Amino acid sequence: MRTVTVSEKYAGKRIDRVLMDIFPHAPASAIYKALRKKDIKANGVRIKDNYIVNAGDKLDIFISDNILNGVPLDEGTVINKGFTVVYEDKNILIVNKEQGIPVHPDREQTNGTLIEFVQDYLAQKGEYSPGSPQSFPPALCHRLDRNTGGLVIIAKNNESLKILLAKIKNKEIRKYYQCLVKGKMEKEHAELRAFLTKDEKKSKVFISGKKTKDSQEIITKYRVLSYENDIDVSRLEIELVTGRTHQIRAHMAYIGHPVIGDGKYGTNAINRPLRAKIQALWAYKIRFDFKKDAGILNYLNGKQFEVKPEFKLLLDKN
């Protein structure tokens, strides 16, 4: 435990911001966890993360000194939350994100995100110092939906970030997904084309066969990996030619094969019998396919990283 008295300069500020300023090397997730568990007291009273501090407040902080000081852990003892490391070097980190975790803060959740957990991981290793303006904050190179699990690339320095963003934009980094969908596909493989319109108010997209003023073209490639006749479910590999919001889920539902467990574009009539409570969709493979010079990342050209999807479906036999 650590006890501090709040100075005048912090008066009127939120407790989480105050603690992160006083303890710049402490992982943000540890501070928020302590606040959620009410392990922080102000003047003897347990407080929440929206508490506004006053000058002279006595804060009792029930977090170990090692965590507050950001002491790097020994090799092999770093504890990850929300992801596992698939590949790592001095320039990039590739992680396998768990389902249910947003990649970055959004209007529903401001902490407990993938990027926060990655920052904590690198801080524990001594590779990132949150309190230092000279320390590059690890950056996401692309996104995944909260309930989609799988591979995410994170840049460890600004040069790598610029290269990776350009390569993704130029389609020189190919991303593949696996999903379970209802029904047997009409073809073993196909390239699907349609038009997608976003509805920001409903946080949903709509698919049409005709182009409209506000729509964007979407192209989705798939091939069938297997078919489970007894539960009428197909396992697909999907490659996104275009990468629009909710593209896979919405496009598959549009052609009559919704992703199993998808509560937004699927139906309970399909999901309930399969006891599927979360979408069976996983970003499972990434291939670096550079056509032009990639600077300090040239060594990644031709490399491929793959993980096994962890579908939370009781009847998934694979």
Q: What is the pLDDT along the chain (318 residues), one digit of tens a residue?
A: 789 999 999 999 999 889 988 988 777 767 877 887 788 999 999 998 889 999 999 999 988 777 787 665 444 444 567 899 999 999 999 999 999 889 988 767 777 889 988 988 888 788 888 767 888 999 999 999 999 999 999 999 999 999 999 999 999 999 999 999 999 999 999 999 999 999 988 889 999 999 998 999 999 999 999 999 989 999 999 999 998 999 999 999 999 999 999 999 998 888 988 888 889 999 999 999 999 999 999 999 999 999 999 886 544 444
| pLDDT of amino acid 80 | 62
The H-or-E segment that residue 142 falls in is none
Q: Given CATH 3.20.20.70, say whether it is the number of domain 173-306.
A: no
DSSP strands (E only) in the chain: 2-5, 40-42, 45-46, 58-61, 83-88, 92-97, 139-140, 149-155, 173-182, 189-199, 204-208, 216-228, 233-240, 281-288, 304-306
Q: Give the CA-trace dihedral at 110, 115, 120, 123, to 10 degrees.
A: -130
Do 244 and 216 touch, CB atoms closer than 8 A?
A: yes
Domain segments of the chain: what residues? 2-69, 83-169, 173-306
Query: For residue 220, how far is the Cα from the chain centroid?
Result: 21
CATH architecture designation of domain 83-169: 2-Layer Sandwich (3.30)
Active-site positions read 145
Pairing state between β 149-155 and 173-182 = unpaired
| pLDDT of amino acid 72 | 53
| pLDDT of amino acid 71 | 63
Q: The domain 2-69 belongs to what CATH superfamily?
A: RNA-binding S4 domain (3.10.290.10)
| pLDDT of amino acid 105 | 80
Give yes or no on whether 83-169 and 173-306 have one common fold.
yes
| pLDDT of amino acid 142 | 94
Do 157 and 136 touch, CB atoms closer than 8 A?
A: yes
